[in-house]
Amino acid sequence: MSKIKFGVIGQGHIGKRHAEMVRRNPATELVAVCDVLPKDKIGLTDIKEKFYQSAEEMIKAHPEMEVVNICTPNGLHATHSLLALENKKHVVVEKPMALHRQDCEKIISVALQQHKQVFCVMQNRYSPPSEWLKKIVADKIIGDVYMVQLNCYWNRDDRYYKKGGWKGTQDLDGGTLFTQFSHWIDLLYWMFGDITDIQAKFADFTHAQSTDFEDSGYVNFRFVNGGMGSINYSTAVWDKNLESSISIIGSKGSVKVGGQYMDQVEYCHIKDYTLPVLDATAEANDYGAYKGSANNHNQVIQNVVDAITGKSTITTNALEGLKVVDIIERIYSFRKPNRKS
């Protein structure tokens, strides 16, 4: 079988990771990459693949390209996804799928018209603790869900928000929940379903000069499927990340998964149940997944191969990507027009 041919738009940290995972997969071939910056400015002088500074030029130059990975700033995800789809390419889009629900809907519509697949990158679903939590909730091992608390306390200071960059801007970044914590909101939706009856408060403690939006928030809600939940988050933590954790209270027991990146089972007490051995000891990095498995992006690329060849379904499909954006937009509807007011 011939290899599936890929192109990657965006060659920042994440884009380079996507490119490397495509190179490593025996069923895929990286044809070209693209970035607005010259390749000598982003350390790509030694790459073997074709390099372009225009996404349009790259796609039109390679009709053999079957899949395009979108690894650009958040606010450009919809534009580049639509460009790829309109040129009859499958799309792999980094989180978030877009910054607005209506843009996600347009992506889905064009994908259906072109008979192409849209893969939303939410690689934390592959982590052993996440897969375990999904199972104990879906199989009712923990019983009926009463309460869920998601805590995300990270550091993002001036070392992260560089002047002149896209991070921290409303139009290209979109907000803390989009850039830092959309992975965790995806896990919340994946495990427990949609939310309603949302209430939220926001604050900007340390980022008034570096971002266009809040750095902290409290959110509470009810799950459509039953039970209550809350999200407590901040990027105002001093010096380094504190934790990403989830606590679940159910009718048959309670669990907590914590650590910096929700990678450690800290508590498990469930009726007539013994915790299985989980491979949750691999070191995690700044993007919330395991270094030992190349941040699980290798599994993302393998899922693309398997779905295109009919061996499996998409791990995170476009409708699920849309729901994450929809949930964040509904939470952010409680933000005041002027965050400092």
- Give the pLDDT confidence score for residue 154 in this predicted structure: 98
What CA–CA distances, in Å, run from 58 to 32, 34, 251, 304?
7, 7, 54, 21
Token pair of 280, please?
Answer: 């949750």
What pLDDT does 338 receive? 53
Place of tokens 């939590």: 133
Helices in 48-181 by DSSP H: which ranges?
Answer: 55-61, 77-86, 101-114, 128-138, 176-179
pLDDT in tens, the chain (341 residues): 799 999 999 999 999 999 999 999 999 999 999 999 999 999 999 999 999 999 999 999 999 999 999 999 999 999 999 999 999 999 999 999 999 999 999 999 999 999 999 999 999 999 999 999 999 999 999 999 999 999 999 999 999 999 899 999 999 999 999 999 999 999 999 999 999 999 999 999 999 999 999 999 999 999 999 999 999 999 999 999 999 999 999 999 999 999 999 999 999 999 999 999 986 444 433 333 333 334 689 999 999 999 999 999 999 999 999 999 999 999 999 998 654 43
Give the pLDDT score at 144: 98
Residue 296 has a pLDDT of 85
| Predicted local distance difference test score (pLDDT) of residue 62 | 98
Neighbours of 111 (CB within 10 A): 19
User: So what's the pLDDT on residue 53?
Assistant: 98
Residue 295 is predicted with a pLDDT of: 63
Q: Which residues contact 114 (CB under 8 A, 6 or more apart)?
A: 85, 86, 88
> DSSP letters along 75-93, please?
GGHHHHHHHHHHTT-EEEE
CA 292 to chain centre: 19
pLDDT tens-digit map of 246-273: 999 999 999 999 999 999 999 999 999 9
Question: What are the helix and strand counts (H, E) for the chain?
Answer: 9, 13
Give all domains of the chain, ordered by start, each with its CATH number: 4-123+297-315 (3.40.50.720), 125-292+322-332 (3.30.360.10)
Residue from 286, 257, 251, 336 nearest 12 by CA: 286
pLDDT of residue 340: 43
Q: What share of the chain is helix, strand, coil (3-state, %, to 5)?
A: 35, 25, 40
